[in-house]
Chains A and B, each alone.
Chain A
Amino acid sequence: MKFLIRIGIGLFALLALVTFSFSLTLVRNLSVRGVPRAKEQLEYHFSLYLPDNRNSFFNEIIKGAQKAAKERHAVVSLHSIDPSRYELEMASYTGVDGIVVCPYLDDDIARRQLEKIRSNKIPLVLINHNIPSDQPWPYIGINNYNVGRKYGAAVNRIATGPLKLAVVYSDKAPGMFAERELIEIGITDSLSGKLIGPIMGFKTSKNPLDAEELIYKLFRTNPQINTLVFTDSSDTIAAVQVLIDMNLVGRVQIVGFGNDPSIIEYIRKGIIAESIVIKADLIGYEAIKALTELKATGYTSASVDTGLEIIDGNSK
């Protein structure tokens, strides 16, 4: 009996200690959960203003910007350039250290808002689409004339005869639509006498499936078109489905946009001839880098061409 009591005392003391320590640990964990952990001291807060539709292109820009910010002890907050949301309008009051803007189509509104930011002496960098100004802002992105030439070269490689070419622009890639003339000049310069008619231009909305309807209509009304050029990856994928459905694979050549896994798979199958890839992450990265330079020294490059690449069946 005495021995049992001693064993019981030891056992229950041990169990009580164990449950007590578990309980204490749980209380501590609960307390700590809400408390922010000690982090590195961040130096800059930058804002990145992008269109609302977050396709892979813009996601890559964000990824690149965040990578650059992390390397430079900075942080990036994301905002919309949609005028109805007033975010860019109010950007100059947010107290950020710098702003990256991918401007929307209406240059006048954009210019006014950008000027307002400039008047508040907030460093500003434009990406993807440049806004003409007396005092131009630093620009990071591609030269759309060069993009047009690349498209033309790609079409030239796959062309077997006279070309009837259509370019499908999109609200999802406003930068390219805004400088469509430059793109088309580049294509025309590259193809010279192979075009049997003027380049036709079409535009899809922000709806990623909009391209399907557009392509159906296009081939009903313009069956002579034998080459399609896209400026958005979602449109490229949607159009391929239509070509397969209408049994136009082989008769109509596609030069796509982007490097989504589906597009790469279509290139491997020979449905898409080639695809233009803009290094979007590099745009985001270079934009933050330029802002950091502006904050630190007050100067940065006026323009940085991040370049592009072409993916075809031979690409790895």
Chain B
Amino acid sequence: MKKSIGNSFRIQLIFSVFGVFILLVLSTAYILYSTIKMQDISDNSFLKERYIKSIQEALTSYQEPLLDYLSTRSSNALAKLLIDSQLLRNKIPLHISIPDDPTELQEKEVYSLIRSYLDMADTVIDQKRGRNITGYISLYEEMTDLLKYINAQIETIGTERFRGQMDNYGLFINDSRNLQLLNLLFIIFVSLFAILMLFHAVEKMTEPMILLSSMATEISAGKFDMEDIKMSSVYEIDHVVEAFNRMKNDIRKYIEEIRWQENIKQEYMQERMRNLKMEELVRRMEIYTLQAQMNPHFLFNTLNTGMQLAIVEGADRTGEYMEQLSQLFRHNIRNKESVVPLRHEIEGIKIYFYILKVRFPKNMDLTLDYSEDLLDTCRVPVSILQPLVENCVVHAFKNQEGQGAIIVRAQRGKKRLILSVSDNGCGMKGDLVEKLLHPLPLEESSSRVMGLENVIQRLFFFYPDDPEVISIQTEEGKGTQIVIRIDTEREPCTVY
């Protein structure tokens, strides 16, 4: 908001206070005006009486110098007479339009009578000067009668007017009471209006401050997601509000940045922890591998010696078995890669199946089902099939009689390479499957990891965001199928 005279806090405060003050002053002035007007009206009702009475008094006082002059012919009396006569003539209205009110008609007649009286007085003076004694004496008598009549008429007019005023007085009193009551109500309403206006102005100025205070409390409680305080029409307050809003938004931004950094730090820590876990897992793998590679040369030499001995003694089948066993050891030890072509795994399984067939020639059916084109196009983590088959041999047919079957399949799904190892053994318990698929953290698990568990952990390690990479379908007494689904479009995660 731009600063202008109109939206200044000081000017608004001055306008509010002075506005109320002026309103009250104007209201009081009106009440004073109406009271004065009422007094004027009351005063004016007696104006005509006072006027006609003043004429009556002037006329009465006119008699004395007239008689004095007629008696003494005093020039002083004559001078006074002439002055009084002129004053009286000036006092009487020259022309009165004909009224229709009886009292005003009577008043009009009175003015005419007075003029006639003054004319007669002029005639009397002339007759006195002309020594017309009989004339001025009789005329003076007539003047006296006329004066009496004039006085009587003035009294009648006064009485009539008074009677009229008596009638009007009741109305006047009633109206003046109503007027005073209305004025009282008016000043009450104006005062209440002015007070509320003042309240309104004060509230307009203090509301943003209260909001500021309330928001400051909220911010101190850690809530930064409130809406900005709206601008008022007061420049100074808006300045504070704007600064406060800016401060609130800045603090919120800083806090969000800190939180973001904290999150990154936590993610980093989690990543680091995961790496540590991986290192642990690798370490275990290495141990497992080392255990598996324990004294390999001794085993190779021994197996070669055994194979030569079998050839020398003519035991060809034993020699062949020894050779296959030797190839299996070599196969397991030779490759140091963590991810290998599917062919490597399938070749290993073929050798392993030969040995198993020798071990279990009658009661074990071993089936290997795969497509040749998958062998070189798909890559899989090393040693994931043999431990599963070994797991079947060791656990699936325990305490079970009859023909056992193990089927290893490799096939292509929509986006995945699907490897499955199934048997018709005793199956697994549900809680065991759950435990295998949701292994304990490394720090809580024992360092001794079995083959199946090892395969599951490695698969989850290579495909951390893919919970469907391995699944186990099993039913007690009917068998187990372990399915590995490897996303062929995605490289396994090998970085730690």
Contact = CB atoms under 8 A, between A and B. Distances in A.
A228 B422 CA distance: 160
A31 B44 CA distance: 10
A267 B359 CA distance: 166
B189 A45 contact: no
Interface in A3-43: 5-6, 8-9, 12-13, 15-16, 19-20, 22-23, 26-27, 29-31, 33-34, 36, 39, 41-43
B98 A5 contact: no
B196 A22 contact: no
Given A27-B38, A34-B41, A93 B102 contact: no
Choose among B30, B115, B190, B193 the residue with the greatest number of A CB atoms under 10 Å from its CB.
B193
Contacts of A299: none
Contacts, number: 116
A36 B148 CA distance: 30
Contacts of B111: 95
A41 B98 CA distance: 8
A42 B197 contact: no
B145 interface: yes
A41 B111 CA distance: 20
Nearest to B98: A42
A9 to B, nearest CB: 5
Interface in B418-449: none
A26 to B, nearest CB: 5
Given A27-B38, A75-B99, A86 B149 contact: yes
A179 B168 CA distance: 47
Contacts of B102: 77-78
A19 B175 CA distance: 14
A129 B101 CA distance: 29
Contacts of A153: none
B149 A90 contact: yes
Contact of A6 (B97, B183, B189, B200): B200
Interface in B167-183: 168, 171-172, 175-176, 178-179, 182-183
A42 B168 CA distance: 26
B356 interface: no
Contacts of A6: 200
Interface in B144-179: 145-146, 148-149, 152, 168, 171-172, 175-176, 178-179
A23 B182 contact: yes
B58 interface: no
A12 B27 CA distance: 14
Interface residues of B, number: 48
Contacts of A96: 109, 112
A223 B379 CA distance: 170
B185 interface: yes
B34 interface: yes
Which applies to chain B's interface (DSSP): helix, strand, loop or mixed? helix
A2 interface: yes
Contact of A19 (B44, B100, B108, B182): B182
B360 interface: no
Contacts of B145: 86, 89-90
Contact of A2 (B98, B116, B203): B203
A90 B185 contact: no
A94 interface: yes
B246 interface: no
A33 B168 contact: yes
B51 interface: no
Given A23-B179, A43-B98, A16 B203 contact: no
Given A8-B192, A26-B182, A45-B98, A86 B116 contact: no
A70 to B, nearest CB: 9
A44 interface: yes
A16 B186 contact: yes
Nearest to A20: B186
Given A12-B196, A75-B100, A31 B105 contact: no
Nearest to B179: A26
B230 interface: no
Interface string B88-109: 0000000001111110011011
Choose among B145, B146, B182, B183 the residue with the greatest number of A CB atoms under 10 Å from its CB.
B182
A136 B111 CA distance: 31
Interface in A257-293: none
Given A12-B189, A23-B186, A94 B179 contact: no
A94 B196 contact: no
A30 B179 contact: yes
Contact of A39 (B100, B106, B189): B100
Interface in B12-57: 30, 34, 37-38, 41, 44-45
B146 A26 contact: no
Contacts of A39: 99-100
A29 B148 CA distance: 39
Nearest to A39: B100
B260 interface: no
Nearest to B23: A16
Contacts of B378: none
A93 B116 contact: yes
Contacts of B200: 5-6, 9
Choose among A6, A26, A33 the residue with the greatest number of B CB atoms under 10 Å from its CB.
A26
B105 to A, nearest CB: 4
B199 A5 contact: yes
Given A26-B179, A89-B149, 15 more contacts: A2-B203, A23-B34, A26-B182, A27-B38, A27-B179, A33-B168, A34-B44, A36-B101, A43-B98, A75-B100, A86-B149, A93-B112, A93-B117, A95-B113, A96-B112
Interface of B: 30, 34, 37-38, 41, 44-45, 97-102, 105-106, 108-109, 111-113, 115-117, 145-146, 148-149, 152, 168, 171-172, 175-176, 178-179, 182-183, 185-186, 189-190, 192-193, 196-197, 199-200, 203
29 contacts: A9-B193, A12-B190, A16-B189, A19-B182, A19-B183, A19-B189, A23-B34, A23-B179, A23-B186, A26-B178, A27-B37, A27-B179, A30-B37, A30-B41, A30-B175, A33-B41, A34-B44, A39-B100, A42-B97, A75-B100, A75-B105, A77-B105, A86-B148, A89-B149, A90-B113, A90-B149, A94-B113, A95-B109, A95-B115
